[in-house]
């Protein structure tokens, strides 16, 4: 089921007023989210956070839609109304008009919880009379009960084992109207929305709505007392149980002595309830009294309209009760009390320990050091929502708070941040100056590059040779007029729309044997020079160069039929032939020279041999 209370993060302004107001610290603040968050399992439903939230960011679980479903379901439904209606609806002149408004809304039965209070009050009187040596905490306030179960678990056995008045009323109504009747509790407390989950069997209740929600339903259904007749509550009617919305009202309903030296019960209302429980736990052997505790008198419950005045509401309640007493048939009331004397009003409670582990001294000292609170006082400033700096440090260790909730810490951090920000701003200003200089330099370089590019472009267009540059996909990057003229009229028309044929596919402009040379150069990163290509009726001399490996290539193409190219090429090629022939002659001369030399050596050898033979003969 949806949580009783939740914080709308869009509306929340992170003022932490709710953290300060929560008596059990069921609201945590975490670093990653900063805005507070209610922890449902720790919440006791007191609604203190709702009361202090200026932006109205804390939302209470709405029960109006669920009530409408119950009323439309087809079965009979009874309203169980808390007696504090007199204080909440002073604008309704007669309570009987209020009862008729409920019937008009769709309720078949309307019962006041006052009779259930009378039954429970009698059970308390009997319990206190029979108790010897054990003292109880009266269990009529759901906020007090929830606090004991979660945060004073050692006192759970001291909760009086008697069901709350609304549960007793539910059991009575089921005996009268049958087991299948639907029951809706109309309460001055938001905690009642979760309290009814405790009730099982004959005391079970389907839904609880607040007085505030009931007002809204009247308005939405356009129900006004001026349009309606009188209608009284369904029997059995209550007697002194109508005083229940006042803290000591149930004491009067039980007929218990209230004089200080004779009363067996001490009544405490308000946030003093927590201190009272502390004293009960520590000193009950000396105090020797039962405790009647209310976190908030029902007249001023968080389910009532905001801005209500306590004593004005109390006076309205007294007037309402006096009016009831005048018409109440005491005999019928007494008979009803006898009829339900055997009703089982026993109730049990469960421990739901929500206490958190206490951090070690070393961890606390580290947190306090970070907070700059090495010598924390017993009482802090309270701005963080905790009684002392040590309590605040404990909450940080338990994951319920963050250091930024401390004004001193936050102020110091702000000053550090301001100093850091100032230094950063100075560095940023210096960086901006350098950036501006770099931008000016880059602008000059860009202008120079544009000028150089423009010069190159003009030079390309002035060259008689054809020039084309393309990318790895054989898309033209740049070309000149000579290349465009070579391609023909279609290329000239395209050039008028797309200057320089930028982006055109070379494969659609040149034959395969021509553009394949570009592919070869791109793949092998090897330039081709002075390759003769027959293109249409012309002989072209092509040189293709690698400009950027595997990415960009450029080509210079010459038309061999052009006069200037012919003259240049004839001279060039004659020079090549002459150079080649001269080289050949030199090689022949070298070979002939070698042969002549060898012949000379042979002839000289023969001559020498002949001379040697002649000399020998003469001898």
pLDDT, tens digit, 9 for 90 and up, residues 48-71: 999 999 999 999 999 999 999 999
d(CA 14, CA 519): 67
User: What does the pLDDT read at residue 415?
Assistant: 61
Residues 6 or more apart whose CB falls under 8 angstroms from that of 441 comprise none
Nearest to 168 by CA among 122, 135, 99: 122
Q: Directed axis angle between helix 272-287 and helix 142-151, to 10°?
A: 70
Q: Which two tokens stand for residue 561?
A: 């039929």
pTM: 0.67
Element (H, E) at 20: helix 17-21
The beta-carbon contacts of 266-270 under 8 Å, at least 24 apart in sequence, are 266/290, 266/291, 266/292, 267/291, 267/292, 267/293, 267/294, 268/292, 268/293, 268/294, 269/293, 269/294, 269/295, 269/296, 269/297, 270/294, 270/295, 270/296
Tell me if 124 sits within 8 A of 254, measured CB to CB.
yes
State residue 137 phi and psi, 5-degree precision: -105, 120
User: What does the pLDDT read at residue 255?
Assistant: 93
The 3-class secondary structure across 330-390, one letter per residue, is HHHHHHHHHHCCCCCCECCCCCCCCCCCCCCHHHHHHHHHHCCCCCCCCCCCCCCCCCCHH
Q: Which class does domain 62-339 fall in? A: alpha beta
pLDDT in tens, 212-257: 999 999 999 999 988 888 999 999 999 999 999 999 999 999 999 8
The number of helices, as runs of H, and strands, as runs of E, in the chain is 21, 15
pLDDT in tens, 550-583: 889 999 988 887 766 555 555 555 566 556 666 6
User: What does the pLDDT read at residue 179?
Assistant: 92
State residue 200 phi and psi, 5-degree precision: -125, 170
Nearest to 168 by CA among 183, 149, 150: 183
d(CA 205, CA 27): 29
Nearest to 354 by CA among 141, 148, 60: 148
Nearest to 56 by CA among 4, 88, 13: 13
User: What does the pLDDT read at residue 293?
Assistant: 95
Give the 3-state secondary structure percentages of the chain, helix then strand then coil, rounded to 5.
Answer: 55, 15, 35
User: What does the pLDDT read at residue 231?
Assistant: 92
Fold entry, domain 463-561: Beta-Lactamase (3.30.450)
Domain residues of the chain, as ranges?
1-61, 62-339, 361-405, 463-561, 567-619
Nearest to 479 by CA among 490, 498, 493: 498
Q: In angstroms, how far is CA 476 from the centroid of its own chain?
A: 52
User: What does the pLDDT read at residue 457?
Assistant: 72
Task: Give the architecture-level CATH label for domain 1-61.
Answer: 2-Layer Sandwich (3.30)
Distances (CA, A) of 115 to 122, 165, 170, 606: 11, 8, 11, 162
Question: Angle at CA 249, nearest 5°, toward 245 and 251?
Answer: 145
Tell me if 347 sits within 8 A of 117, measured CB to CB.
no
Residues of the chain where predicted confidence (pLDDT) is lower than 70? 32, 372-385, 387, 407-419, 453, 563-619
């Amino acid at each position: 089921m949806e949580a009783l209370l939740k914080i709308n993060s869009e509306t929340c302004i992170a003022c932490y007023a709710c953290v300060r107001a929560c008596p059990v610290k069921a609201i945590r603040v975490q670093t990653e989210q900063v805005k507070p968050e209610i922890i449902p399992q720790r919440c006791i439903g007191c609604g203190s956070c709702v009361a202090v939230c200026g932006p109205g960011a804390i939302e209470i679980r709405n029960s109006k839609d669920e009530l409408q479903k119950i009323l439309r379901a087809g079965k009979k439904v009874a309203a169980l109304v808390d007696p504090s209606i007199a204080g909440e609806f002073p604008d309704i002149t007669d309570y009987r008009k209020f009862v008729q408004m409920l019937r008009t809304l769709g309720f078949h039965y309307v019962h006041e919880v006052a009779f259930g209070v009378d039954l429970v009050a009698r059970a308390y009187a009997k319990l206190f009379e029979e108790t010897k040596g054990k003292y109880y905490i009266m269990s009529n306030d759901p906020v007090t009960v929830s606090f004991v179960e979660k945060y004073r678990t050692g006192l759970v056995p001291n909760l009086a084992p008697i069901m709350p008045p609304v549960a007793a009323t539910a059991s009575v109504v089921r005996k009268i109207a049958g087991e299948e009747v639907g029951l809706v509790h109309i309460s001055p407390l938001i905690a009642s929305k979760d309290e009814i989950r405790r009730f099982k069997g004959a005391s079970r209740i389907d839904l609880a709505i607040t007085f505030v929600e009931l007002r809204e339903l009247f308005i939405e259904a356009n129900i006004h007392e001026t349009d309606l007749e009188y209608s009284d509550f369904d029997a059995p009617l209550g007697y002194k149980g109508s005083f229940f919305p006042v803290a000591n009202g149930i004491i009067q309903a039980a007929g218990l002595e209230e004089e200080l030296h004779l009363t067996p019960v001490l009544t405490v209302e308000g946030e003093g309830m927590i201190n009272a429980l502390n004293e009960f736990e520590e000193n009950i052997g000396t105090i020797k009294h039962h405790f009647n505790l209310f976190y908030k008198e029902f007249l001023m419950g968080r389910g009532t309209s905001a801005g209500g005045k306590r004593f004005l509401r109390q006076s309205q309640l007294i007037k309402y009760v006096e009016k009831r007493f005048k018409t109440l048939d005491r005999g019928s009331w007494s008979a009803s009390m006898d009829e339900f004397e055997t009703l089982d009003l026993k109730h049990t409670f469960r421990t739901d320990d929500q206490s958190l582990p206490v951090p070690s001294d070393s961890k606390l000292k580290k947190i306090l050091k970070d907070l700059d609170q090495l010598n924390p006082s017993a009482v802090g400033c309270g701005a963080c929502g905790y009684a002392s700096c040590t309590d605040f440090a404990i909450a940080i260790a338990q994951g319920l708070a963050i250091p930024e909730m401390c004004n001193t810490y936050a102020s110091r951090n702000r000053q550090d941040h301001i100093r850091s920000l100032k230094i950063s701003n100075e560095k940023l200003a210096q960086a901006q100056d350098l950036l501006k200089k770099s931008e000016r330099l880059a602008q000059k370089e860009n202008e120079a590059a544009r000028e150089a590019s423009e010069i190159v472009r003009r030079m390309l267009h002035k060259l008689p040779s054809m020039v084309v540059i393309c990318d790895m996909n054989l898309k033209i990057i740049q070309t000149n007029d000579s290349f465009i003229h070579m391609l023909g009229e279609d290329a000239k028309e395209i050039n008028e729309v797309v200057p320089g044929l930028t982006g055109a596919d070379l494969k659609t402009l040149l034959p395969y044997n021509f553009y394949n040379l570009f592919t070869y150069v791109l793949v092998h990163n090897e330039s081709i020079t002075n390759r003769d290509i027959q293109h249409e009726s012309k002989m072209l001399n092509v040189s293709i160069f690698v400009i950027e490996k595997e990415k960009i290539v450029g080509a210079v193409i010459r038309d061999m039929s052009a006069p200037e190219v012919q003259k240049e090429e004839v001279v060039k090629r004659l020079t090549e032939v002459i150079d080649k022939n001269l080289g050949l002659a030199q090689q022949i001369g070298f070979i002939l020279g070698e042969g002549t030399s060898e012949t000379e050596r042979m002839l000289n050898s023969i001559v020498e041999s002949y001379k040697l033979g002649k000399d020998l003969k003469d001898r």
